[in-house]
Structure 1
Amino acid sequence: MRAAVLHGTAGSLLLTGLVAAPAGGAPAWPGPVRSAETRGTAVAAERAAAAGVRFGKCPRAEHLPSNVRCGTVTVPLDYALPDGKRIRLTVSRVRATGKDPHDAKRAVPRQGALVYNPGGPGASGMYFPLIGFLPEWKRIGAAYDLVGYAPRGVGRSAPLSCRDPAHPPKPLLQSPTAPSASYKKARIAEAKAYARGCARRSGSALRHYTSLNNARDLDVLRAALGERKLTFMGASYGTYFGALYATLFPTHVRRMVFDSAVNPDPEKVWYENNLDQSAAFELRWADFRAWMARYDKVYGLGRTAEEVRRSYEKARARLASSPAGGTVGPAQLQGAFLQAGYYDDYWPQRALALSAYLKGDPKPLIQVAGPHPEAAAEQENGSAVYTAVECNDAPWPTDWRVWDRDNTRLARIAPFETWDNVWMNLPCAYWQAPRQRPLDVRTLPGELPPTLILAAERDAATPHEGAEELQRRLWGSVLVTENGAGTHGIAGGPNKCVNGYLDAYLLEGGLPERNAACAPHREPVPPASARTARRRA
């Protein structure tokens, strides 16, 4: 449940957001000056403060229990024109319980609203308030209203799509790690068609789906909730526009948690960040293979990481010639194992599915990797928002030869994710909307209250170097690292040390005097049923 509530569907830089800066120096962005967008944000926030949020029963479409309440917040489509077209963002909330989870007689003072974003771009935070029912979150849920929302473009918040979600394309079963020239040509054509579809279906509105506007929306949401200052936690991509918020509105910040931070360096946003991510996933894939090798007596996939790799490649080859159930080919296999690169609690299930498939039982693999037609519309919406935000945010190489050169080199040492990452982001090479220049994330001493950055040392989706870079740019921030671990998103997870720092900061405003480290959480172990079945075999 935790992974589903806190994080979006695993994908590429989730980052699942994106690069080049102007020649000769810093990005040509004016910074947090009194621009038309800044004035428009102030106008929209003033209106939102007066209107508030009318929370009531959640629409059936949200699939939320009755104790979660829902509402909407109105924001300008274009902040330079606050009196122009407006869109509505959906919001969810569970009020602070006010009760100490360890002492029912002790009242806990309310500290305001804690607003959360799970990343993406393209992920919804509407389910976040449910996190308060988990033991690790009850102390925070006692002091804070837990507030989630769907960013612009996501879910029912002025939703985007780049092709008809009612008629999704036939899933590609192949996913070659060394694609041929003809395969590349086909994927280029697909990327061009997707970029055209985004432009055709959204028109002139498409350009306004950006990280900067996500940051501005966050300030309007703050005002609508009646909060003078914002308490916010963002994960993955949510750390990026959270950092933009800190740069644009430092005096509006109360507390901010950046969980699994994106590298905000304008030179990295977004093309270079994706290259770094592909390289990091190769290391995490090696971690997973080593884990499977340690449990060879359970899974029978090999006693070394290299033997496990050969078992995986054997499955890929078999699926390429005969997809499991007609629906699971190498692409679906790779997608399922990519998710295991994000969250190690997926490891036992994925290893069991691979083991069973190689022994003649494809059902577990079909279960974890097979398509889910009922989720096609949601997946297309997430893909469209991801693509729009990343492509709008920054310049991308527009010459295929640059992509081909860089990723061919990278794939020689990091074949696991490299080419799939390319195909996901390639529409940005052919984007038809205007591009922005990334804002130079940076705060001066005393400008921003102290903030907390959390990162796992071996996180593949947002490599640890990004957290280090963010700390250098946000004066007064403190970095807490979970050493030797690689789960993407560590707040409120199984590591009590990490959670201790999170609680101390959100509940008391306390931070360590300098960067801190936690020992890794315990890696998963195969379930007893798998161990027993192996012994009986």
Structure 2
Amino acid sequence: MRAAVVYSAAGSFLLTALTATPAGGSSGAPGAVAERNGTVVAAARAAEAGIKFGACTKEMDAPGNLQCGTVSVPLDYAHPNGKQINLTVSRVPATHSDPHNSKRRVPRKGALVYNPGGPGSSGMYFPLVGTVPEWKRIAAAYDLVGYAPRGVGRSAPLSCQDPENLFKGPSSAPTHPSESYKRQRIAQAKAYASGCAKRSGSALRYYTSLNNARDLDVLRAALGEQKLTFMGASYGTYFGSLYATLFPSHVRRMVFDAAVNPAPEQVWYRNNLAQSAAFEDRWADFREWIARHDDVYGLGSTAEAVAGSYEKARTRLAAEPAGGKIGPGQLQSAFLMAGYYDDYWPSRAEALSAYLKGDPKPLIEQAEPVTESAAEAENSNAVYTAVECNDAPWPTDWNVWDRDNTRLARVAPFETWDNVWANLPCAFWPVARQRPLDVRTGPGELPPTLILAAERDAAAPYDGALELNRRLAGSVLVTERDAGTHGVGGGPNACVNGHLDAYLLEGRLPARHASCAPHPEPKP
């Protein structure tokens, strides 16, 4: 459930719980004091060492203007002089070139660090976004900096299973699973959790959102920045908010795009329930759009009729997978992307229409797993699982999951059970879980920050932006009304981008919460 586009990134996130577990995230706990002191030690060391940027690896296949380096961070911040791991970092220096006035040299404002979400997504290619017109003003003033968080890519990579076992298809995706199917998925979740422990060993417990926030402060110091300018999307807003809570005096400017609900009782189990409900609404938006263009797609003139066409395709694929590879599970994964980004609406609708008319090729092209990326996808999923399972208590009784999601699936069948299977390893997690930090800053503790949100975002429901706004004193919320793209900064909405530029380039925010009209719907 993770995906990225050039201006944003999506991360499926989860929800929190019911079982009591050791603290480790409470700011007053002895362990937290040691970790805070350890961060100071690690940041001082990084400031002295800096980052030696040079050519990127051949595997990245990156253009020459992208520079790469590494920064060393402690595996365990309570022991900053113990085992170290290297995080890979990328950069494109500020261009100083005003896109509207070629004769004007733009002064450098510092480094803008970006995280695309996940957990498990890499931001190594982010600096290349400076070539996109919507980003050129920001790229003129800032060094654009991306990085692979701990566990991701070449940054002390995590693994939970053999990548060759990842893309096995075709698969089913029942919206109302049988008891035998549930038992099968429970067994798979237990095996996956066991595999994470077996393949990662004692290091597994240190892959957490709190450590991601601490790593961010070490990266700040290594870049030579006294104050951090940071933009996080989706899950990146969560550990960004942890950073704001832990290190408010180290913040220069922060942008939270597609904000995750940071309330401790939501992290992560209940956030996933909210996410599944929101995807049902976004699935309805997509179906209504298809219905308005029935003359193009012929899938039905009402949202209900379009749903019938989709179910017809599911039934047919269950009986005879397209190309021998595409079953209902692959169809579901492909159409879930339309819940993240409406850019996918025309291609997905066209593929469904063509399939039902006898041409499976477009659907196969869009839904077929890319086996060449199996290792990357397995790594991303391992980090996602480890971070979310480590971060917070989860229900350990299957009956709780079954009760909550059976009830939800009656009104939100589209994504509910797939979300369960993605997160179920957390019910059987072999590592002690933390208690989530209470994200909160008082008046004057934190510089003003900017929150961006689409009102109908499914992956990060809008309530999360409202909650983050309440918790970070002085923050200002900019809403794209009646829109649901997951991550709106630097995208197609000029109004949103105007607020983003004003904040990052001038430190200027609206006097009060602002709203923007939605970007145009895609054309069929």
- Scaled by the length of structure 2, the TM-score of the pair is 0.97
**Structure 1: which 4+ aligned runs deviate by more than 6 Å?**
none
Q: Does 1:69 align with 2:28?
A: no
User: Which residue of 446, 460, 463 maps to 2:461?
Assistant: 463
User: Which residue of 185, 199, 202 maps to 1:187?
Assistant: 185
Matched with 2:284 is 286
- Verify the 8 A CA contact 2:288 2:303 in the aligned structure 1: yes
Matched with 2:17 is 20
| CA distance in 1: counterparts of 2:62 and 2:27, whole angstroms | 41
Matched with 1:81 is 79
Q: Does 1:434 align with 2:432?
A: yes
Matched with 1:535 is none
User: Which residue of 483, 487, 490 maps to 1:489?
Assistant: 487
The 3 A distance-change label for structure 1 pair 212 and 68 is same
- Verify the 8 A CA contact 1:6 1:118 in the aligned structure 2: no
Amino acid at match of 2:27: P
Matched with 1:474 is 472
- Verify the 8 A CA contact 2:213 2:243 in the aligned structure 1: yes
For 1:74-153, list aligned pairs within 5 A: 74-153=72-151
For 1:305-344, list aligned pairs within 5 A: 305-344=303-342
**Aligned-pair distance for 1:477?**
0.1
- Verify the 8 A CA contact 1:261 1:454 in the aligned structure 2: yes
Matched with 2:208 is 210
Amino acid at match of 1:305: A
The 3 A distance-change label for structure 1 pair 131 and 467 is same
- Per the alignment, in what secondary structure is the counterpart of residue 445 of structure 2? coil
User: Which residue of 19, 26, 31 maps to 1:29?
Assistant: 26
Amino acid at match of 1:19: T
- Verify the 8 A CA contact 2:389 2:426 in the aligned structure 1: yes
- Per the alignment, in what secondary structure is the counterpart of residue 265 of structure 2? coil
| CA distance in 1: counterparts of 2:164 and 2:263, whole angstroms | 38
Matched with 2:5 is 4
For 1:388-537, list aligned pairs within 5 A: 388-526=386-524
- Per the alignment, in what secondary structure is the counterpart of residue 321 of structure 2? coil
User: Which residue of 49, 52, 55 maps to 2:53?
Assistant: 55
Q: Which moved more, 1:59-68 or 1:349-358?
A: 59-68
- Per the alignment, in what secondary structure is the counterpart of residue 252 of structure 2? strand
Matched with 2:44 is 46
- Verify the 8 A CA contact 2:231 2:256 in the aligned structure 1: yes
Matched with 1:275 is 273
Amino acid at match of 1:328: I
Amino acid at match of 2:396: T
The 3 A distance-change label for structure 1 pair 265 and 292 is same
**Aligned-pair distance for 1:7?**
4.3
- Verify the 8 A CA contact 2:76 2:206 in the aligned structure 1: yes
The RMSD of aligned alpha carbons is 1.5
**Aligned-pair distance for 1:30?**
2.7
User: Which residue of 365, 368, 393 maps to 1:367?
Assistant: 365
- Verify the 8 A CA contact 1:5 1:127 in the aligned structure 2: no
| CA distance in 1: counterparts of 2:327 and 2:98, whole angstroms | 50
- Per the alignment, in what secondary structure is the counterpart of residue 125 of structure 1? coil
For 1:375-386, list aligned pairs within 5 A: 375-386=373-384
**Aligned-pair distance for 1:32?**
9.3
> Can you list the C-alpha shifts for 1:80-133, whole angstroms capped at 9, x where unaligned?
000110000000000000111111100111000000000000000001001000
Matched with 2:293 is 295
The 3 A distance-change label for structure 1 pair 27 and 445 is farther
**Aligned-pair distance for 1:61?**
1.8
- Verify the 8 A CA contact 1:174 1:320 in the aligned structure 2: yes
| CA distance in 1: counterparts of 2:33 and 2:156, whole angstroms | 25
Task: In structure 1, list runs of 5 or more residues that go unmatched.
Answer: 527-537
- Verify the 8 A CA contact 1:5 1:125 in the aligned structure 2: no
- Verify the 8 A CA contact 2:116 2:233 in the aligned structure 1: yes
| CA distance in 1: counterparts of 2:74 and 2:24, whole angstroms | 26
- Per the alignment, in what secondary structure is the counterpart of residue 266 of structure 2? coil
**Aligned-pair distance for 1:65?**
1.2
| CA distance in 2: counterparts of 1:21 and 1:478, whole angstroms | 32
Matched with 1:263 is 261
> Can you list the C-alpha shifts for 1:245-283, whole angstroms capped at 9, x where unaligned?
000000000000000000000000000000000000000
- Per the alignment, in what secondary structure is the counterpart of residue 107 of structure 1? coil
Task: In structure 2, list runs of 5 or more residues that go unmatched.
Answer: none
Amino acid at match of 2:401: W
- Verify the 8 A CA contact 2:15 2:273 in the aligned structure 1: no
| CA distance in 1: counterparts of 2:169 and 2:458, whole angstroms | 25
**Aligned-pair distance for 1:371?**
1.4
User: How many aligned residue pairs are there?
Assistant: 519
- Verify the 8 A CA contact 2:451 2:475 in the aligned structure 1: yes
Matched with 1:175 is 173
**Aligned-pair distance for 1:170?**
2.2
Q: Does 1:237 align with 2:238?
A: no
